[in-house]
Structure 1
């Protein structure tokens, strides 16, 4: 504690003094985006007169964009500009997006006229959809440039791996808490005070947090960017293809090793057995009696370094594990949108109907996932993982955490299927809507699973990715999450076309069958993940 206080008070850059400014930058965007995304389905149905299943698909596409954008933002930061400029520009874009959302709610010309009982509902015009999609794109840009770039910027402020790990824990807690505040507070304002007030509040929050983020720029420690790491990885592939007819060598002296200071010698890192065809990219033909200095009689471009070859190999080895995260994201995103539809037709009083009580907005029902995750993270860090370490005599690895998270997700989806089956049976004898709190237990299990697999995946990628790709590493989870939302939209369209399980009236649907299908797919993916883990060899 004394060291932390000293670091905070002295004039050195970095350290815990940057924490409130870094997290402040991400909290504003996360809170505003959560408040918009969690209620966007309701906004499209009620204000843009879009049918429920079509609105579900639109929301999945928007969620896919907001989930994929962090990987693009991380690549831009790693290869071009660095974390701080990208995060600042993205925050400004998010502010503009919130202002556009506010205009769509405040100006009647930017949305279709409201439906009446005597007239057919008129859908949105193309120009109105263009404004709505522009607002969504700017919001996605804000998320893409801040969510994981600020995580990397914050971790760069510390030298100790222990402090970096502590930072990540509290960073994700801040993310979850801000998302909870968005889903509860902002959605409540949207439903009770008007959409223009809710969206306007989002714009104010982003502006305040952007100002706070800029106030900490004098304390940030910025890492120097060297050559573009992606260029080196592409060169490995190109050179390996160009030299495909060359033979390999078992002599380490025939491969190019280079240190950052420009000296050349054999490095501790050696070529690994897998993906041997890439080794040709680092192959040289040294002159007799001279050290390996990169000079080569081979035609074409100079050789790549062994480090570049091994960096690419480590990424290729991770691909099966990244692919295992894709079905999980698809299942969770499908479950999230369908649960919102269930909540729209449920009794959303927080107390049983006889007692009444406050009304839970339909768009806020998934807040229980975030709440369970936010409460579980400190509990896991302080109680569960130490107990695991005491029993197993080793801490749980990121792969262990991901496996537990996958298993909990399957159980949670099966629980949703049981709840929906019970609701449909009760509906035959009693037309009263189900109490919304019956939907909560599976959501809590999903949140607990997310507390395991989400930080576990980020930790795995951060450990296994090359040192020059740390922003991309922390954003890799967004890649699977984004494609998962797109696949969710296609999955819903496929189920709607091939079955009668999805109808605009949730009481005429068979969501229980959809949930059982998702649970079965999750179980198959869990087995696939275990196979990948048994074959994977960690770099660290």
Structure 2
């Protein structure tokens, strides 16, 4: 029995009736993941006696995996399991990890015993405690990552016959995702810091259970599709086919290249472009490559000209893509180390309320969300009235680069002030400077993200051929994942080559780390400008970039 086409949904399945189930599942899973991951650094330091910089490194690894796993999950869903099965299996994995994490906060045997005040010796740390802890983190991260992209895909699939409704769905999906992140980084973290870790983590467990139950309740309403070929498979085929035919001479006529199976009879044959000519061999027709019906005998030996050109489009945009690696790296370093700064500052607002250190991430979310609204309602119309043109994706990304590295400079100045306070107050590890001093650098990061993140999605979505449109968000996810791992490597290099990042940052020079990022950012911005200068838009059609970005 054939799977239903995405353009022809059954009247009994799909449509907006599935929206509450998918959105509620997304909210529950985001609350569960954000509730423990946003406060992971604090939990590792306070409950497992992990050194502060090591805790920040672990957080960077988790954030990196949280961005790479959705891409792998999308490939698995597209090629093997389908979105529905991938979501419920991943939800169960996430639940197991979150339960394990809650148990580490509940059972004394799964947590190191705190050292007694004034004691010169502490109880030895059990290896099994750390095995359980890291197993919980891995499972919870793996599970959430498996649902992050597939939930949005299955939601869009329910509205496959209504493209305009898909845009509305994505707008609401991102709105509720941001809202859930704000709740997780404030309310749940407040419970963890002021009530108990046990209570906070079991709230995460409850959110995960509710999300899984609600998703399964909607099973009979979902339109389910059989797995299709992943676009990544098509790209891999071009590489393999071109290598296998590397000894074949390139022909000069279009008749010797494979155009595809379902080509309009009167359509003119396409000759592959002259750039990256090695890849053109993947489309050369050899004896025995084509069946009588026009299909290929071996998909890993022959590709169509269009598939080859699609791969070349990806190669052309790679330099611009790599220029954002350092952009994401600075964000990873700033966010993780800002938590360590917050732990060493006055967290009080008034005499009775204390901000959870992990909650400072909310300032990035709020500034990004607020500036996105300002961007669409005020900045874009103003720019159009002044120039008569839309702000291009490359211009938007460039502004994001500048603001992001400006935030590093602000962070360096704030840290210099904090270190001066630490020198005059050496009796305590808490510097009598308000944590609100960190707000400007975090707000600038959020504003920068409002520029460069939608700009990059718009660029990839506009420039990629129709067969690779789904890779637009995947490119961003891979970029963010790699950036967090680069942030981890950068911090390791600084620790091994300098004394700037000791266990107690009051004795280090974190401000120097930020200044290095500023210098690196200037160099990287020069690389970006060079790439943008030489890049030629493949699709010159006028696009409303603000709309296209919001639809992503």
- State the TM bucket, normalised to the shorter chain: 0.7 to 0.9
Deviations 1:399-423 (A, max 9, x none): 3332222221111111111111222
Cα 1:413–1:471 shift into 2, 3 Å: same
Partner of 2:545: none
* Cα distance in 2 for residues equivalent to 1:316 and 1:106: 50
* RMSD across aligned positions (CA): 3.0
Deviations 1:420-458 (A, max 9, x none): 122233444566521111110111111111122223333
Partner of 1:144: 145
Cα 1:401–1:24 shift into 2, 3 Å: farther
Deviations 1:37-66 (A, max 9, x none): 111111111111112122222222222222
Partner of 2:128: 127
Partner of 2:546: none
How many Å apart are 1:469 and its aligned residue? 4.9
Cα 1:466–1:152 shift into 2, 3 Å: farther
| SS state at 2:389 partner | coil
User: Please, which of 411, 414, 420 is the counterpart of residue 425 of structure 1?
Assistant: 420
Cα 1:455–1:15 shift into 2, 3 Å: farther
Partner of 2:172: 170
Partner of 1:6: none
Q: 1:286, 1:295 within 8 Å by CA — same for their partners in 2? A: no
How many Å apart are 1:374 and its aligned residue? 2.0
| 1:446-465 to 2 correspondences below 5 Å | 446-465=445-464
Worse-superposed segment, 240-249 or 132-141: 240-249
How many Å apart are 1:146 and its aligned residue? 1.8
Partner of 2:25: 25
Partner of 1:416: 411
* Cα distance in 2 for residues equivalent to 1:410 and 1:366: 18
Worse-superposed segment, 157-166 or 139-148: 157-166
* Cα distance in 2 for residues equivalent to 1:267 and 1:26: 47
| 1:445-524 to 2 correspondences below 5 Å | 445-465=444-464, 467-469=466-468, 471-524=470-523
The TM-score with structure 1 as length reference comes to 0.88
Q: 1:176, 1:373 within 8 Å by CA — same for their partners in 2? A: no
Partner of 2:357: 362
Q: 2:254, 2:269 within 8 Å by CA — same for their partners in 1? A: no
Deviations 1:321-379 (A, max 9, x none): 2222221221111111111111011111124xxxx241001111121111111222222
Worse-superposed segment, 477-486 or 395-404: 395-404
How many Å apart are 1:183 and its aligned residue? 0.9
| 1:182-193 to 2 correspondences below 5 Å | 182-193=184-195
Worse-superposed segment, 337-346 or 397-406: 397-406
| SS state at 1:147 partner | helix
Worse-superposed segment, 208-217 or 480-489: 208-217
| 1:351-390 to 2 correspondences below 5 Å | 351=350, 356-390=351-385
User: Please, which of 213, 217, 231 is the counterpart of residue 211 of structure 1?
Assistant: 213
Q: 2:52, 2:503 within 8 Å by CA — same for their partners in 1? A: yes
Cα 1:70–1:226 shift into 2, 3 Å: closer
Q: 2:272, 2:309 within 8 Å by CA — same for their partners in 1? A: yes
* Cα distance in 1 for residues equivalent to 2:195 and 2:367: 28
* Cα distance in 1 for residues equivalent to 2:473 and 2:495: 35
* Cα distance in 2 for residues equivalent to 1:301 and 1:104: 48
Alignment coverage as a number of residue pairs: 522
Deviations 1:290-333 (A, max 9, x none): x995789xx99752111221222222223222222221221111
Deviations 1:212-242 (A, max 9, x none): 3334444444455444544433232222122
1:65 equivalent to 2:60? Answer no
* Cα distance in 1 for residues equivalent to 2:83 and 2:16: 18
| SS state at 1:433 partner | strand
* Cα distance in 2 for residues equivalent to 1:534 and 1:419: 34
Q: 1:369, 1:446 within 8 Å by CA — same for their partners in 2? A: yes
Partner of 2:304: 305
Cα 1:300–1:50 shift into 2, 3 Å: closer
* Cα distance in 2 for residues equivalent to 1:513 and 1:12: 61
* Cα distance in 2 for residues equivalent to 1:318 and 1:57: 30
Partner of 1:254: 256
Partner of 2:543: none
Worse-superposed segment, 202-211 or 383-392: 383-392
How many Å apart are 1:466 and its aligned residue? 5.2
* Cα distance in 2 for residues equivalent to 1:62 and 1:241: 36
Cα 1:158–1:412 shift into 2, 3 Å: farther
Worse-superposed segment, 313-322 or 413-422: 313-322
Worse-superposed segment, 10-19 or 180-189: 10-19
| SS state at 1:434 partner | strand
* Cα distance in 2 for residues equivalent to 1:268 and 1:460: 29
1:393 equivalent to 2:394? Answer no
| SS state at 1:504 partner | coil
Q: 1:152, 1:470 within 8 Å by CA — same for their partners in 2? A: no
1:406 equivalent to 2:405? Answer no
Partner of 1:339: 338
* Cα distance in 2 for residues equivalent to 1:122 and 1:84: 47
| SS state at 1:273 partner | coil
Worse-superposed segment, 101-110 or 271-280: 271-280
Cα 1:301–1:125 shift into 2, 3 Å: closer
- Mind listing any 5+ residue stretches in structure 2 that lack a counterpart? 1-9, 540-552
Partner of 1:49: 49
